[in-house]
Amino acid sequence: MQLIKFSNINGALAAATCTLLAGVSNAQADEKSNDWQFDTAIMYYGEPDRVQAVEGVVSATKDFGDEHVFSTKLVLDTLTGASANGAVAQTSAQTFTRPSGNGEYTVEAGDTPLDDTFRDTRVQLNLAWNQPWGANQKVGAGLHISNEYDYLSVALNANYALDFNRKNTTFSVAASYAADEYSPEGGIPLALSKMAIRGDFANDDAFNSGFDDTRIGESENKDTLDVIFGLSQVINRRWLVQFNYGYSQVDGYLSDPFKVVSLVDDTGSALGHYYESRPDSRSKHSIFAQSKYHFDSLVWDMSYRLASDDWGIDSHTLESRLYIPLSDSAWITPHVRYYQQSAADFYRPFVQGDLAEYMSADYRIGQMTAYTLGLKYTQKLSDGDELSMRLEYYQQTPENSGFNSPGQLADVDLYPSVSAVIFQLGYKF
């Protein structure tokens, strides 16, 4: 009982001290705190010759008093462009059937096969409620819905946090359960079946029947359970750290219905392209550590993530953000991110001889390194609103994890790099 009273006094002291120290600008912010707070952004993502996306976000938060906070977020994005279909490049032109089964596309000699029919619009809505539970605990719950033309995801989440050691230590646990349904145009392909190509059939009817033989249905499902245990600790007046352990279990249809793997002969010539096959479950573990350090004026945010899963993919992610004040109301934030992953056990850039039970040529589960360099400029306006601009460059470098390239495959690029530019405008009010 005494403990609880003591911590209440601590809480009150903290609030009083912060208000005193923060001065006039925060007093203005406090006046605003009973109103809705909005955080909005629009982002452009562009890969030359591949995917272009535009994403808009509006987040709104309202404190109903005593930290009873309702928050909601609406995200809209639209995506167009081309994505690698997994087939190998060849020294001659190649023809592929579109995922819908309606029509073909041709890839020039030497080019990485890209399916240029991607066009999607996504709407995402998040709702969340968070509130204190007694003196030292917090609870929250949320709902996440994301809907695309061919994809629907609904997730529920809950979180719990316990403060102790004068609120310098916080233990938290959060869980999320998501149910997703995938209904791609043209249906779900039969894993390991050969892509039907119109030229191999005598007439349209024969082709349509051949294409239908590669389909198993209209849609497939997957379920994802995520659990995260977190520990955050104030080290001293300038330094705060956080550690998370995360477990994720995904079950269901985990293949990509648009991806194929090429079967090649000894000369590296493609004999056909076969729809990929991934296991129907995946368990992932991750450890995430973050440090925030306040120098005299700079703030340095540094994080590291180690992840490992039962597909054989291990990854390391290092990220750093430095907040450099330019004046009382403006700062720049350089951002660096480095990412490295090993290949899934069943990753194959192509297959020779027999097909494997599980195989995918999707470079995104192959060995790869990636880095991001970015710079953000933030300007606080006289009325407390905040304007920001962010420019980032992202480069992925897929690597060969030990496959020999027979015949003509030695003359083409099997591991092309992908780069992207990201530009974002943000406004908080």
Partner 1 sequence: MKKQLLALSLMSLALSGCANLGVNPWERDLLAKPQMQLAAESTDMALDDHIYFSKEATSGGRSFAGGGCGCN
* Nearest of 74, 83, 73 to residue 53 by alpha carbon: 83
- 328 backbone dihedrals φ, ψ, rounded to 5°: -65, -25
313 binds partner 1, rule: CB under 8 A: yes
| Of 39 and 198, CB closest to partner 1 | 39
Q: Considering only residues 263-292, where is the footprint of partner 1 by CB under 8 A? A: 284-288, 290, 292
Strand-pair partners of 124: 75, 146
Query: Binding residue for partner 1 (CB under 8 A) from 52, 80, 136, 248?
Result: 248
Q: Is 9 helix (H, G, I), strand (E, B) or coil?
A: helix
Cβ 428 vs Cβ 39: under 8 Å: yes
What is the smallest separation between the CB atom of 14 and partner 1, expressed in angstroms? 3
Query: Binding residue for partner 1 (CB under 8 A) from 62, 98, 215, 294?
Result: 294
| Of 48 and 353, CB closest to partner 1 | 48
424 binds partner 1, rule: CB under 8 A: yes
Give 52-75 as a DSSP string. Answer: EEEEEEEEEEEE-STT-EEEEEEE
Selected range binding partner 1 among 127-135, 234-242, 272-280, 402-410, rule: CB under 8 A: 234-242
Give 295-353 as a DSSP string. Answer: -SS-EEEEEEEEEEETTS-EEEEEEEEEEEESSSSEEEEEEEEEEEEPPPTTB-SSEES
d(CA 429, CA 80): 31
399 binds partner 1, rule: CB under 8 A: no
Query: Binding residue for partner 1 (CB under 8 A) from 133, 245, 393, 423?
Result: 245
Strand-pair partners of 142: 128, 157
d(CA 358, CA 362): 12
For 243, other C-beta atoms within 10 Å of its C-beta total: 13
| Of 198 and 335, CB closest to partner 1 | 335
Query: Binding residue for partner 1 (CB under 8 A) from 276, 394, 409, 414?
Result: 394
What is the smallest separation between the CB atom of 358 and partner 1, expressed in angstroms? 15
383 binds partner 1, rule: CB under 8 A: no
Maximum distance among all alpha carbons in the chain?
86
91 binds partner 1, rule: CB under 8 A: no
What is the smallest separation between the CB atom of 181 and partner 1, expressed in angstroms? 10
Selected range binding partner 1 among 129-137, 196-204, 266-274, 364-372, rule: CB under 8 A: 364-372
Q: Considering only residues 12-71, where is the footprint of partner 1 by CB under 8 A? A: 13-14, 17-18, 21-22, 39, 41, 43, 45, 51, 55, 57, 59
Strands (E), 110-252: 114-133, 137-148, 151-164, 169-182, 188-189, 215-217, 220-236, 239-252
| Of 264 and 276, CB closest to partner 1 | 276
Selected range binding partner 1 among 127-135, 229-237, 270-278, 402-410, rule: CB under 8 A: 229-237
What is the smallest separation between the CB atom of 237 and partner 1, expressed in angstroms? 5
